[in-house]
Structure 1
Amino acid sequence: MSFAFTARLPLSRHEVDRDHIRRASDTLFETLRTDAAARVLPLWRGKALVAVASAAERETGRAHLELVRPGLVPDSLLTLYLGLSLATDLEEPAGTPLLATVLSDEAAADLEPDEGRWIGLRQLATVLPDRDTGAFAEALALANWHASHGHCPRCGAETTVEDGGWTRRCPVDGSQVFPRTDPAVIVLITDDADRILLGSNAMWEQNRYSLLAGFVEPGESLESAVLREMHEESGLRVTDAEYLGSQPWPFPASIMCGFTARLADDQQPQDLLPDGEEILDLRWFTRDEVRAEAGRVILPGAASIARALLEHWLGEPLPAGADGVRA
């Protein structure tokens, strides 16, 4: 396998110092809103504002985010401190303080009424520079947490935002609630013939296939989750779980931990048993079959760790359009 794996994880890229010490300042936002150097990443319905592409970016298919001055967005909305930019090749110099603000429909329309310039992270992950990809993933994950954790889990009281958006505090007992990330395993399973196992989820189009995945349960190691989840979803036992890498998946709050595993020696590849509820179909693919059917069978999107694992096994990039998206 000569095709690099870790270099193919678009959402693991980052060039932001999260600057956790500064979060505790009581005057953080007051100071940054009057800082001419500070920039805000606007978020609207999970999308970020994309800058008008330069001629060079249009030729290469690249893009970058439109970061705005704090005064251009209302200070009454949820604002998050992302940290300091580390990038040296973008318009904003290294050390630029970065914020994110979650906009209402009205505020988003006032800032940029062209909805075509508001684009989601899945679509942008492979075309943004490292700083923008990392900042977008960080902001989206944090915003998703705030959207679902506005009340104290102990008493139900509405919590208040503190520490630059990185904690919420209960006004009743003073307890703090912190952002959460849900770990999940995603596994490239091979058999003795070095075929790969792909499954079709009930929530997808019938011809979309990907690697099997599942959430880690409480009190469970990642490796144990690999063995359990793969058996639950395929009816097969696997062995030799080997970790390759991870990337955040803020849709809404996961981190995907990529593994390889092989079919256990006492299992037959044909003994597949999809559960019929979550997994509707399972198929073994050779490399030649993946190449031949790319386009007819929809494969994982370019932003996903599933795509990176699949290309790592394949030894080359998947053909354009394999994810069902036309160039």
Structure 2
Amino acid sequence: MSEDADFTLVGLQDTASQEKISKPSLTFTQDAWRRLKQNKLAVVSAWFLVFLIIAAAISTIFVPQKDANYFNSDQVATYKNLPPKTGLPVPGLNGKIEEPGATESKDVYKQQNVPEGKKFFMGTDELGRSLGKRVIVGIRISLIVALAATAIDLIIGVAYGLFSGWKGGKTDTILQRIIEIISSIPNLVIVTMLGLLLGSGVLSIILSIAMTGWVGMARQVRNLTLSYKERDFVLAAKSIGESGPKIALKHILPNISGTIIVQVMMTIPAAIMYEAVLSAINLGVKPPTASLGSLISDAQSKLQFYPYQVLVPSIALVLISLSFIMVGDGLRDAFDPKASSED
């Protein structure tokens, strides 16, 4: 090659093209939503919970509580303990049941002279009440208890833990001693006292969960706040003169949101199970109103003969709890700034 030959640059020659950013700029919320949509199980679970909450709200019109609790004492012998019947020739859903020790299943609807065309998709209980209607009411009550108690836990726990961790020093010490005192009080004592003051019911359950449930959230938020307030980005925010509350809400809270969301999603099924335990010891919802916990508790003694009375509310309880857990895992990954993946 001669010395006079021109040197040719291979590749992009346009400076603007080299500096162009091909990936669109996304806000924190848009990036979190993009990552959440990639988790199919979380999306399906979220849609299921949205449908369930909307259906539970609409069901107050079509399935009132009085209708689910009503039974005719003259027709108990006809409608009691009927197995599920959907009209499909599917074992367990055809109105037939096989008693322990029997060799063949029997048609309970014919045996008890149930009117032709009358069928119950989820069966009936020992008083002839539709189990499907009672499960709908139970889901409604369990969701109200869980969501209301969790909302109170979230507001109090996050605010308390964030303030305690940010202030530190003597303030943090005093606030933590208060938490230890509250934690030392058994929940059963609180429930009993509220039951005496307000009567057993939804309100006393919500208050009993809310009075002590926020402690775990507050401790987690406080520990994370103590860790994050020493990070470089917080020190940088302090150096440019940002106020303490603004730093806590704008810089620390988004970084710990993943842990908060997971804690919330674990609190909801825990609250439902807590309500179930209270119903089992007659401190929950007043009979004859049913929740998922009371339905399972009442049907335990009939598990061998009428297993569907336990399975139907149990399946509903498992699906609701599993959906909240799956959504919580998806939101944790979506809102974690460290979980951003390259496209």
Structure 2 length as normaliser, TM-score? 0.24
Give 1 or 2: higher strand fraction.
1
Larger Rg: 2
Specify which structure has the bigger relative contact order, considering alpha-carbon pairs within 8 angstroms and separated by 6 or more residues.
Answer: 2
Of Structure 1 and Structure 2, the greater helix share is in 2
**TM-score, length-scaled by structure 1:** 0.25
